Structure 1
Amino acid sequence: MTAISVCGEWFVCSSDKKLIAVHTKQAREPFVFDCSTAEKKPKNTEADSQRDGSEETGNDKILALAVSPSGNLAALTDDSKRLVLFRTESSWQHISTRWVVRRCTSLVFTQAEDVLLVADKSGDVYSFSVVDPQKDGELKLGHLSMLLSMTLTPNDKYVITADRDEKIRVSHLKSPYNIQSFCLGHEEFVSVLVIPSVHPQWLLSGSGDETVKLWEYESGRKLQSWDLKALRETPSTETEQEKKKRYAVSRIACSPDGGHVAVQCERLPIVQFFRIDQRAEERLVVCSRVTLSHSPLHMTFDPKGRLWVLLDSREAPLQIYTHAQDCWECDAESSKLNQVVDCLKPHWEALQAGAETESCFQHLYKVNFDNMASYMQKKRQRLEQQKTHWGKKRPAKTTNGASSTKKNKKPKPVSQAAS
């Protein structure tokens, strides 16, 4: 998983097995954490005892990255089930390495930055203490299917989780068995959840059905929905097969002032911008669209409201967009941009390895079966087999109509009459 974030004055990028942090103001050596050379898992840990008994070996690829609200903490989890915690205030420092029960899909810090929540592929959410960085995780809640995204409300009252079965669940953080509401309406898996910073009562969600929805999450009420496929301009030369391709929403980013929303679909070189207007009836308004030179891998806003976009390109792996006069323009001459790009280029192999050539969501789509068509096909096959079988079994007939396999009956002898 390739991801970028801004952590105070640090630009952070995780890709393949490496986390790279570059200072955007000072000419420092970037901080690099390589999971392939990190601490190995000790034997007979508590996490081992909770496993199902199958021995698994991970490939050390980073699966999720999270930055705390203040930017003073960061955490990652990888395919080898490490959970690594960092302090980032003046310089990066490794705090602890702990072990999770199953591979994780999402991480989020509480607003108080005392707890790190970890969602995994089995549908469970664990709570890990930040204050006591050596303490094992505690199970908080569970879903019946894989969790794909998770977020917390700004007051740490609710934890909001989304799974493969199109459900968005709003649970009380202190007592997760108390479910506040469900936000239901997506037709495919829910891949992204974001709460706009200035509108803490709203929730934005993205899905494999190529829609972005706006919710009032406490009541579960849907406020608005946008179909991204309808907004996208498709060329007239597009084939029927290309029209049937599905592009899941892979990233939603909100500006710090809460006024702008950027939406990215997987493998599409487009960023769709929306504007949030709390006073308007249509609260989510289409603003503009930017066409990129290459497919975007990830994007994030910095504290000044600039959008950083990581591209699948060795020549220009990073771009910064600024908002001016109701449109977004590329700032190619930014000194920060050039400094970060120079530090990222030596690690291009890791960035390229982390780029997904195929859809990482493809296996999550629902598969529809036509039961009647399958039944009729099997019935035809069965009738053909029966016809062939009886055709072989039936004996051939002779010219006089008698079966060649039957023995000719001899006439019975006439018994002599009694004298």
Structure 2
Amino acid sequence: MLSTITYTNSSIIILNEKVLNIYKNGEHSQIQLQSRGVLVYDKYVITENKDILEIHNNTVDVIGKTHKIPTKITVDNGSMYIADKSGSVYRLESLENLSKNPSESIPTHLFGSISMITDIIATDGLVITADKDNKIRITENQYPHRIQKFIQVHSKPLISMAIAGEYLVSGGYDWYVSLYNFKSKKTFIFDLITHKTQDLGDIFPGVDTPESISNINLECESRVKKILAYGETVVILKAESLFLVDLSKLTNDGYISCAEIPSLSGKPLVDGMSMKEGYAVLDEEGSLFTFTPENPVQMKMLQVPNYTHKIDISIANKYLE
């Protein structure tokens, strides 16, 4: 659900309440928004009054309006996909050719589900969603009534997904993340305590044998705040640290190359993103650190002035109560 930092056109964009901080070629500029920003993705911003804004250099244009405040957006092949708390997914097509009249740029309903969607990915003709009822749904883009697959190997709400190589990596409140292989149609579990993987075999409709998944019943807060992917590597962002996992080195006996990296500042990490050169993570005081999979040593890149942005993923907490 975290989406307050993005990388586009060689620019880093960080959302801070009503301010967009843009960093490019060593220069820092700011855009003042009329209302508080909710999320940012690529060159688009959604505000709490449901405006869809497009960033142009140091200005923003209103290009449309969402039906509800989204939980997550994504962009693929010139279209925006918008997910919300009611479980609906909308599509706004032809982003580059939208009417100058925002009232005419209304997203169309694509499909719905019965649970709040917490993350969405659109790629290769598919729309993939994760929800607070621990389901992953893979839907055909062209025929959204066709559900290609349900992946149900989690016992608690999901928060984030990313695609790394041939794997869909997903996690949230469980003590593990799932690794779904698009080619073999099989799922692995990566345990965040033991740092080992477990092969669950073929996808099955629901967790029929929950005792087979280690730590499935541990009570906890959201262990995974966000999952990032760069090539065949994955960063699992937690509050106090992050895991760097290399999926290309997954062995037949379940061993996977991983390293735990503590927050360099000692402050809780609040968001992160993939970049052209690797990864970047943001702490609660607005310090941004970068690193590469080859050299996972965090380097402080910049400091967001007066950073106070509050990121709320407590909806899953409410679900658990």
Aligned to 2:199: none
Check if 1:106 corresponds to 2:72.
yes
Distance in 1 between residues matched to 2:314 and 2:194, nearest whole Å: 21
Asked if 1 retains the 8 angstrom alpha-carbon contact of 2:174 and 2:220, the reply is: no
Structure 1 consecutive aligned stretches of length 4 or more whose deviation exceeds 4 Å: 217-220
Check if 1:8 corresponds to 2:9.
yes
Q: Deviations over 1:167-212 (max 9, x none)?
A: 111111011001111111100111111112xx2x421111211321
Distance in 2 between residues matched to 1:63 and 1:289, nearest whole Å: 30
Asked if 1 retains the 8 angstrom alpha-carbon contact of 2:64 and 2:106, the reply is: yes
Measure how far apart 1:290 and its partner are: 0.9
Aligned to 1:249: 224
Check if 1:152 corresponds to 2:122.
yes
Check if 1:320 corresponds to 2:286.
no
Measure how far apart 1:159 and its partner are: 0.4
Check if 1:117 corresponds to 2:90.
no
Check if 1:139 corresponds to 2:109.
yes
Check if 1:19 corresponds to 2:16.
no
Asked if 2 retains the 8 angstrom alpha-carbon contact of 1:183 and 1:217, the reply is: no
Aligned to 1:207: 172
CA spacing shift, 1:2–1:100, aligned 2, 3 Å: closer
Q: Which has the higher helix share?
A: 1
Aligned to 2:148: 180
Check if 1:84 corresponds to 2:84.
no
Equivalent position to 2:157, from 189, 202, 209: 189
Check if 1:264 corresponds to 2:237.
yes
Distance in 2 between residues matched to 1:284 and 1:118, nearest whole Å: 37
Unaligned runs of 5+ in 1: 37-59, 68-73, 233-242, 368-419
Asked if 2 retains the 8 angstrom alpha-carbon contact of 1:274 and 1:284, the reply is: no
Equivalent position to 1:311, from 249, 270, 283: 283
Distance in 2 between residues matched to 1:159 and 1:250, nearest whole Å: 21
CA spacing shift, 1:218–1:167, aligned 2, 3 Å: farther
Distance in 1 between residues matched to 2:66 and 2:190, nearest whole Å: 37
Measure how far apart 1:215 and its partner are: 0.3
Determine helix, strand or coil for the equivalent of 1:304: coil
Determine helix, strand or coil for the equivalent of 1:159: strand
CA spacing shift, 1:35–1:195, aligned 2, 3 Å: farther
CA spacing shift, 1:17–1:230, aligned 2, 3 Å: farther
Determine helix, strand or coil for the equivalent of 2:20: strand
Measure how far apart 1:21 and its partner are: 1.2
CA spacing shift, 1:320–1:328, aligned 2, 3 Å: same
Measure how far apart 1:33 and its partner are: 3.6
Which range moves more in the overlay, 202-211 or 185-194? Answer: 202-211
Q: Which amino acid aligns with 1:19?
A: L
Structure showing greater Rg: 1
Measure how far apart 1:97 and its partner are: 3.5
Q: Deviations over 1:45-78 (max 9, x none)?
A: xxxxxxxxxxxxxxx3x332211xxxxxx11212
Determine helix, strand or coil for the equivalent of 1:131: helix
Asked if 2 retains the 8 angstrom alpha-carbon contact of 1:170 and 1:218, the reply is: no
Aligned to 2:191: 227
Asked if 1 retains the 8 angstrom alpha-carbon contact of 2:72 and 2:120, the reply is: yes
Determine helix, strand or coil for the equivalent of 1:319: strand
CA spacing shift, 1:65–1:281, aligned 2, 3 Å: farther
Asked if 1 retains the 8 angstrom alpha-carbon contact of 2:118 and 2:160, the reply is: yes
Measure how far apart 1:145 and its partner are: 1.3
Asked if 2 retains the 8 angstrom alpha-carbon contact of 1:181 and 1:217, the reply is: no
Q: Deviations over 1:70-100 (max 9, x none)?
A: xxxx11212222222234xxx3443434221
Across the aligned residues of Structure 1 and Structure 2, the Cα RMSD in angstroms comes to: 2.6
Aligned length: 291
Using the size of structure 2 for normalisation, the TM-score is 0.81
Using the size of structure 1 for normalisation, the TM-score is 0.63
Measure how far apart 1:362 and its partner are: 1.5
Q: Which amino acid aligns with 1:311?
A: D
Unaligned runs of 5+ in 2: 100-104, 197-217
Asked if 2 retains the 8 angstrom alpha-carbon contact of 1:86 and 1:96, the reply is: no
Q: Which has the higher strand share?
A: 2
Q: Which amino acid aligns with 1:102?
A: K
Distance in 2 between residues matched to 1:173 and 1:283, nearest whole Å: 33
